[in-house]
């Protein structure tokens, strides 16, 4: 078995790559935002992974706010203001979907604005993927997508779009790939991998270039339930257990074993149950099911 890249190598630069943040636009205020990185938790909620506001010498931070579509967002009201620095880490940002009147999975611009004691301001803009889709109801049909990964064909899958790619095509969209199998790396087993575990997604300086993906094995009974399910009502009991499953630690890979199932939190923050329906010589057939939030 080969030596996997260690998560400890994942610095702020790598985190920025997989949280889908965009360019930072800063005014000439008496301070600045530093290392501001957004992420989503396992329930899809947006929060500040790292970041702070730092004022210039002799200046203090008097206000920090966030807006989207020129509408104030929630979550920054409890910050400790009045000092030279304000830590924003682990602060949840709410109201993004309402501000944009959205009920779909999409990208939205979030503007963070800091005001200083000399009445100057500085701002930074981030673009974050947010799932604003609503509860489809028990009678809604489940959407199942079939993909095949193989050493002789396409090894890289974007489950959000239901597409597979060969390595050359995947090179330009590394941050959209959710799972990989049979990519030819020496020492890999017959398994479906989290992209973070493969050298292809790291550069020579140990910066991670892929997206944020988590894999969780599902109970053996889940395959039978999911395989026969056609409506949301068919998987209600399983849905109630998803929270407990994702509260646990994810895995680096899942074995390519027929009639088993696992859960993927994709690069776009969606929950997808994946069934391994068939295996062959260096090939695996997957049925991907979009799970309601």
Q: If you average pLDDT over each of 41-55, 108-122, 222-236, 244-258, which comes out highest?
A: 108-122
Interval 4-59: pLDDT, tens: 443 333 343 333 333 433 334 445 689 999 999 998 876 677 899 999 999 999 99
Whole-number Å distance between alpha carbons of 216 and 264:
7
Q: What is the pLDDT of residue 270?
A: 82
Per-residue pLDDT averaged across 218-244, rounded? 88
161 vs 59 pLDDT, higher one: 59
Q: What is the pLDDT of residue 68?
A: 95
Confidence of residue 249 (pLDDT cuts 50, 70, 90): confident
Domain boundaries, the chain: 12-131, 137-290
Q: What is the pLDDT of residue 5?
A: 41
Confidence of residue 122 (pLDDT cuts 50, 70, 90): very high
pTM of the shown model:
0.57
232 vs 172 pLDDT, higher one: 172
Q: If you average pLDDT over each of 91-95, 118-122, 134-138, 266-270, which comes out highest?
A: 118-122
Greatest CA separation for the chain: 68
Q: What is the DSSP string of the chain?
A: -PPPPPGGG--HHHHHHHTT-------S-SEEEEEEEEEE-TT--EEEEEEEEEEPTT--EEEEEEEETTEEPBS-TT---SSSEEE-TT-B-B-HHHHTT--SEEEEEEEEEEEETTS-EEEEEEEEEEE-PPP--TTSBPPEEEEEEETTS--EEETTTTEEE-HHHHGGGGGG--EE-----TT--SEEE-GGGSGGGB-TT--B-S---EEEEPPHHHHHHHHH--BGGGGHHHHHHHHHHHHS--BSEEE--TTEEEEEE-TTS-EEEEEEEEEETTEEEEEEEEPP-
76 vs 84 pLDDT, higher one: 84
Per-residue pLDDT averaged across 173-197, rounded? 92
């Amino acid at each position: 078995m080969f030596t996997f890249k260690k998560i400890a190598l994942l610095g702020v630069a790598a985190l920025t790559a997989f949280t889908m943040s965009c360019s930072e636009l800063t005014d000439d205020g008496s301070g600045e935002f530093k290392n501001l990185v957004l992420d989503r938790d396992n329930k899809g909620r947006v929060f500040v992974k790292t970041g702070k506001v730092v004022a210039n010498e002799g200046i203090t931070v008097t206000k920090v706010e966030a807006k989207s579509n020129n509408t104030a967002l929630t979550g920054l009201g409890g910050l400790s203001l009045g000092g030279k620095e304000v830590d924003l880490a682990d602060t949840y940002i709410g109201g993004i979907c309402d501000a944009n009147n959205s009920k779909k999975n999409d990208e939205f611009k979030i503007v963070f604005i800091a005001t200083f004691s000399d009445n100057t301001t500085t701002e930074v803009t981030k673009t974050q993927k947010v799932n604003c889709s609503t509860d489809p109801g028990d009678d809604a049909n489940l959407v199942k997508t079939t993909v095949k990964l193989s050493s002789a064909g396409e090894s890289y899958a974007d489950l959000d779009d239901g597409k597979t790619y060969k390595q050359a095509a995947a090179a330009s969209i590394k941050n959209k790939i959710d799972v990989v199998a049979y990519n030819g790396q020496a020492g890999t087993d017959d398994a479906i991998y989290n992209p973070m575990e493969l050298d292809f997604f790291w550069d020579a300086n140990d910066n991670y270039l892929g997206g944020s993906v988590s894999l969780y094995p599902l109970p053996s009974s889940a395959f039978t339930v999911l395989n026969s399910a056609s409506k949301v009502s068919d998987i209600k009991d399983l849905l109630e257990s998803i929270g407990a499953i994702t509260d646990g630690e994810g895995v680096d890979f899942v074995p390519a074993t027929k009639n088993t199932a696992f859960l993927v939190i994709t690069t776009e923050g969606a929950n997808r149950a994946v069934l391994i329906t068939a295996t062959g010589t260096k090939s695996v057939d997957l049925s991907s099911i979009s799970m309601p939030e």
